[in-house]
Structures are given as C-alpha cells and as structure tokens.
C-alpha cells in the first residue's frame, strides 16, 4: 500500500506560479515514478506528466510543456509539480499518482489539490 | 495521440448488470484499466490489465477487452456504485497514459 499526501488548496492570480507537493510513504523498489493528472471542474481526467525519481527523467504533456516542472526530493520522499504562467483554465484539482514498476496503470492516488486561478 | 471513446452516461436498475464500454482502434491488443471516481473523491483503480482486480475491489467488478471495445461490467449493481468511470490505456508512442472521457453511472 502506497500513501500519497498532497499539499493544501491554493488560490492564485493569473500569471502567477503554483507548486504542489506530494509526500509518499515510499520510494521503494515497486515505484517506477509518479504522474500528475488534473481535472477541471465538471471535466474528465487530463494527464500532465510523469517523473522517475531514480534518474529524474520526465515526460510532459504537450499542452503544459514549457510551463510545468516536476521534481522529486528522495530525502523527504516528496514529489513536486510546479506550473507557471497560470491562466483561468488551469483551475482544476491536481492529483499525484503512483506508478508501479512494470505497470501501465496508476495504482494509488493522492487526495487532490484544488488550484483556483482568479483575478 | 490514441483516442478512447466512452458513452457520457449509463443507467441501470439495482441488482442488474451495468455495462460501460470504452472504444479505441484495435484496443484489444492493449491493456485497459478502469477507475471509479465518486463525487468529491480521487479516482480509484477498480480494474487493471483488462480484467485484474486490485485488492479490496468486489468480485462484482469485471472487465473484458476484444477488437475495438473494452468493457467494464458491474454485476448486481448497487446505489453505492454510482460514480464516474474512466478507462485508460498506455500510449506507447508518447510514453504516457491516455484516459477516456468518462461515463457517469446512475443506478435507479
């Protein structure tokens, strides 16, 4: 069982940046990486990117590439997602998810962090 | 990017079998995963790799995948199964997951 605990909700102005954290119970051998998935109000799930904490490799979705940075801190078992140049359509719940070794599915999810972008 | 198509909504009576489809080009050769999302909650993996069930998921949940359609079936459906359900596959070209648009299951 992997537990993911995310940081609290945020309210930001357009053009600002937000950094969401996700503390995990383990960076064990079963962990291949972490994904970030967001969900706009009333909408479906949108993949944003993933990071492999072992080597720092990342893969970002085209629609946020250039504005998103994912990092990890192994000493605290924490993964971060920073999004810059916030716009109103970035308003969403942001989820971090666990990606197990050899899997193509996301087996554990954080509780979500609501980021509201408003002037 | 690979496209997954789900019906926006499905309704079924309690005790019956609810069926939710996920369409994609030759999806039968891919592994399909399903997530349940209840209002105000994070998604929960209910089916992995077409038909596998994570620990704690009732046996009432099952899945199949063939041709151009994957299917999630919930037998003896209960009011507590009302939720949005999302299918997901891996896009090997882009090396990332792809989600279907989601299906709202109503049990009435």
CA-to-CA distance for B42 and B85, rounded, in angstroms? 12
Contact B99 A109 (CB under 8 A): no
Q: Choose among B38, B51, B107, B45: nearest CA to B79.
A: B107
Cα torsion A25, A26, A30, A31: sign: positive
Distance from CA of B16 to the nearest CA of A (A): 26
- Asked if B73 has any chain A CB less than 8 Å from its own CB, the reply is no
CA-to-CA distance for A17 and A35, rounded, in angstroms? 19
pLDDT of residue A31: 80
Contact A103 B96 (CB under 8 A): no
> pLDDT per residue over A69-101, tens digit each?
999 998 899 999 999 999 999 999 999 999 988
Burial zone of B54 (CB within 10 Å; 0-12 exposed, 13-18 middle, 19+ buried): middle
Question: What DSSP assignment string belongs to B22-87?
Answer: EE-TTGGGS--EEEEE-TTS--EEEEBTTTB--TT--TTEEEEEETTEEEEEESS--GGG-EEEEE
The token duo for A16 is 């600002």
Parallel, antiparallel, or unpaired: how do β-strands A10-12 and A113-117 relate? parallel
CA-to-CA distance for A72 and A49, rounded, in angstroms? 13
pLDDT of residue A1: 82
Question: What DSSP assignment string belongs to A44-84?
Answer: --EEEEEE-TTT--EEE-TTTTTTEEEEEETTTTEEEEEE-
User: Which residues of A fall within a CB distance of 8 Å from B88?
Assistant: 105-106
Low-confidence ranges of chain A (pLDDT < 70): 27, 29
Task: Considering only the beta carbons, identify the residue of B86, B90, B102 that sits closest to A104.
Answer: B90
Parallel, antiparallel, or unpaired: how do β-strands A106-109 and A92-100 relate? antiparallel
How many Cβ pairs within 8 Å bridge chains A and B?
55
pLDDT of residue B72: 98
Q: Choose among B105, B36, B34, B22: nearest CA to B66.
A: B22
Mean pLDDT by 10 residues, chain B (108 residues): 96 98 97 98 97 96 98 98 98 95 97
């Amino acid at each position: 069982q992997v537990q993911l605990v995310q940081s609290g909700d945020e309210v930001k102005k357009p053009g600002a940046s937000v950094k969401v954290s996700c503390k995990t119970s383990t960076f064990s051998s079963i962990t291949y990486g972490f994904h970030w998935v967001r969900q706009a109000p009333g909408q479906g799930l949108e993949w944003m990117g993933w990071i492999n904490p072992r080597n720092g490799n990342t893969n970002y979705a085209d629609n946020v590439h250039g504005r998103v940075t994912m990092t990890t801190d192994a000493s605290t078992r924490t993964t971060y997602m920073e999004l810059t140049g916030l716009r109103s359509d970035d308003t969403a719940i942001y989820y971090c998810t666990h990606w197990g070794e050899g899997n193509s599915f996301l087996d554990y999810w954080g509780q979500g962090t609501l980021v509201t972008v408003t002037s | 990017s690979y496209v997954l198509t789900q019906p926006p909504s499905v309704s079924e009576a309690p005790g019956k079998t609810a069926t939710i489809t996920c369409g994609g080009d030759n999806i039968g050769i891919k592994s399909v995963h399903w997530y349940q999302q209840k209002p105000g909650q994070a998604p929960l993996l209910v089916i992995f790799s077409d038909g596998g069930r994570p620990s704690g998921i009732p046996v009432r949940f099952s899945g199949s995948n063939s041709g151009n359609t994957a299917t999630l079936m919930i037998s003896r459906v209960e009011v507590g199964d009302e939720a949005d359900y999302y299918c997901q596959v891996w896009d090997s070209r882009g090396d990332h997951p792809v989600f279907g648009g989601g299906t709202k299951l109503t049990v009435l």
